[in-house]
Amino acid sequence: MNPENVEWIKSVRRRIHENPELAFEEVETSMLIRRELARMEIDYKFPLAKTGIRAMIGTGGPPFVALRADMDALPIQELVEWEHKSKNDGKMHACGHDVHVAMLIGAAKILKARENHLQGTVILLFQPAEEAGNGAKRMIADGALEDVEAIFAVHVSHRLPTGVIGSRTGPLLAGCGFFRAVITGKRGQAANPHKSVDPIFAASAAVISLQGIVSREANPLDSQVVSVTFFNSGDDLDVIPDRVEFGGTLRAFSNASFYQLVKRIEEVIVNQARVFKSSATVDFFKDADTIYPPMVNDDHLYEHVKKVSTDLTGSKKFQVVQPVMGSEDFSFYSEVIPAAFYYIGIMNETLGSIHSAHSPHFMIDENVLPIGAATHAAIAERYLNDQVS
């Protein structure tokens, strides 16, 4: 990108950063994107998933490839003091979604300038609610993937130096779910425990037994997590309560392992409660959009990302990364069509771009913006060329 366009893409990112909006509230962000698309004379469809956008560049015919950026911010108070700090108290782009949007808009500018060279159609998806609400599911339901045969997305990473691309074939991000259990007993005085049915005793046994699911039932080479993160039985020091609530999260890198964890968590809690004369229910919030499948990269699309990025920036600028237990709702797209998710580094110690996502101190090295935009554009254009060659 020429210096003028680099400054433009930085200004886009800064305007979004100053006005962070939470899941399905991305009204101003969506409006800004649509204004930029209109200036570039790029056709788009709006709304999808309430605030989402589906734009189109190219011939209007097959093949179709999609690029996706998420738009939502987090309920975090920004603690980075700089000229473009969040103006919305308690809200912050602490995960880089402002960067993702700016890079995709930058890619749109590149692709529009090369529209006569495109051997098909590039679909640009600006998606709400990645952080909370499974915006990807809503986008898919509203037709985001119509005609699309492959999709790519990028996420900034503080673990990689600025501009370095990282990805891997196969499982990259874990499937994620949450659970809340209620164990019910019989209330009684703590001085006479024999006259009660103690749900704390039952719940404590259940929590301990849950740790055995991964350590004794899962293949050690198949990474999984079950973590209990809260336990609530009230605060009366002289009474055995009639109920205890506890819950937490589960993670796995395959759907088979994930749903086996769901099955075993419920069995362990219900049966442990029964041992102690209590009853139990377990809620996995299946209707509340809190279950994310694993993000599994398509082998061929991963190789495409690797080849394009190394051709653009050199082999030393690409790294094979390890899977992580974090989750991303881009995985919903990967369940429908072949998909590839990759990282682009923003780590720059001199600038202080070293903090992890979801930190109030999170910031980015803006030098990544033109690199990300060019990578996006090249991945899409060369994918189309490969399909017709």
Tell me which CATH code domain 175-283 carries: 3.30.70.360
pLDDT of residue 288: 64
- Residue 155, annotated ligand binder? yes
- Residue 83, annotated ligand binder? no
**Residue stretches of the chain with pLDDT short of 70:** 288
pLDDT of residue 255: 87
Residue type, 237: L
* 41: Cβ contacts below 8 Å, ≥ 6 apart: 112
Tokens standing for 371?
């690199």
pLDDT of residue 287: 72
Q: Classify residue 193 as left (phi > 0), alpha (psi -120 to 50) or beta.
A: alpha
Q: Kindly state the greatest CA–CA separation across the chain.
A: 83
Q: Where are the alpha helices (DSSP H) in the chain?
A: 3-18, 27-39, 97-113, 135-141, 199-212, 255-275, 299-313, 331-334, 368-388
Q: Where are the alpha helices (DSSP H) in 169-277?
A: 199-212, 255-275
- Residue 131, annotated ligand binder? yes
Q: pLDDT tens digit string along 265-278? A: 999 999 999 999 99
Domain ranges of the chain: 3-172+295-388, 175-283
User: Does pTM surpass 0.75?
Assistant: yes
Tell me which CATH code domain 3-172+295-388 carries: 3.40.630.10
pLDDT of residue 161: 97
Q: pLDDT tens digit string along 97-152? A: 999 999 999 999 999 999 999 999 999 999 999 997 789 999 999 999 999 999 99
Tokens standing for 17?
């950063």
